[in-house]
């Protein structure tokens, strides 16, 4: 591996780490929002609803940061030999979630669950590529 290839690989790994940081943050907030949502559904009241929506807003912020980090990761991957054809565009769409306007808590819970699943899928994908990149550096 040339020095340039090593640098490009290290940059891609750093971009993966940034994406994983935000994806895991989003997952944490989504899990918490889901837990508060369940509590809210069984009679938690006004305060639990506020907390749930605060967690959803925090998750949305992390998702937006994750989308940007995934875009950077995709750009960095293009510089690494063998990864020019890797596409992560499908993961860039998972942040386009709308939590506002739902009238029923059950629908919000469903959307939170879908977002968590999409987060997990993106995390697994980025982790797999990161492991491959790390192996290349050995």
pLDDT tens digits for range 18-49: 999 999 999 999 999 988 888 877 777 788 88
Whether the per-residue pLDDT at 124 is higher than 80: the answer is yes
Identify the burial level of 98 via C-beta atoms within 10 angstroms of its C-beta, where 0-12 means exposed, 13-18 middle and 19 or more buried.
exposed
Answer with the residue of higher pLDDT: 85 or 128. Answer: 128
CA 134/CA 138 separation, integer angstroms = 7
pLDDT value at residue 18: 97
Whether the per-residue pLDDT at 100 is higher than 70: the answer is no
**CB within 8 Å of 64: residues ≥ 6 apart:** 95
Answer with the residue of higher pLDDT: 87 or 78. Answer: 78
Q: Where are the domains of the chain?
A: 3-137
Taking all residues of the chain, what is their mean pLDDT, rounded to a whole number?
A: 84
């Amino acid at each position: 591996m040339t020095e340039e290839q090593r640098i490009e690989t290290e940059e891609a790994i750093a971009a993966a780490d940034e994406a994983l940081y935000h994806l895991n943050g989003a997952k944490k907030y989504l899990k918490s929002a889901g837990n508060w949502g369940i509590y809210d559904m069984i009679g938690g009241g006004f305060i639990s609803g506020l907390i749930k929506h605060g967690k959803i807003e925090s998750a949305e912020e992390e998702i937006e940061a994750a989308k940007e980090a995934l875009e950077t990761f995709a750009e960095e991957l293009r510089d690494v030999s063998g990864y020019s054809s890797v596409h992560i565009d499908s993961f860039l769409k998972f942040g386009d979630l709308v939590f506002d306007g739902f009238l029923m808590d059950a629908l919000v819970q469903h959307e939170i669950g879908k977002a968590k699943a999409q987060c997990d899928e993106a995390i697994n994908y980025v982790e797999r590529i990161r492991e491959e990149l790390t192996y290349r550096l050995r």
